[in-house]
Amino acid sequence: MGPRLLGCVLFCLLGAGSLEADVTQSPRYRITETKKRVTLTCSQNMNHEAMYWYRQDPGLGPKLIYFSRNIGNVQKGDIPDGYTVSREEKPNFPLTLELASNSQTSLYFCASSKSTA
């Protein structure tokens, strides 16, 4: 049953759409001094309307920092303090840590979707 299940998963993933579609986040790794301004970039090539920034601390689930429904539309998530974002172009959604602190040491994830509905 194992190989059949694996074949189904591969088929479903390959049939999901273009293999060129992606969300790119950079830098991949970042170590910085505290009290420094840090910007993480996020871009997507799928013409999606909505974009999101999440933070995941060790042992916890992801928490929404900010999201955007479209160009110029930015809304706070669960933990926006200490961060700013902008959405001046549809494919880009940079996240800035205004004054990096030890409490912001975490994994950061950017995502996109066709809509927020």
Question: Quick check: helix, strand or coil at residue 41?
Answer: strand
Residue boundaries of the structural domains of the chain: 20-113
State the pLDDT at residue 10. 29
Specify the CATH number for 20-113; select among 3.40.109.10, 1.10.340.70, 3.40.50.1000, 2.60.40.10. 2.60.40.10
Q: Dump pLDDT digits (tens) for 16-45.
A: 344 456 999 999 989 889 999 999 999 999
Q: Dump pLDDT digits (tens) for 85-102.
A: 999 999 999 999 999 999
B/e letters for 33-64, b = 16+ CB within 10 Å, e = fewer, are: eeeeebebebbbeeebbbbbbbbeeeeeebeb
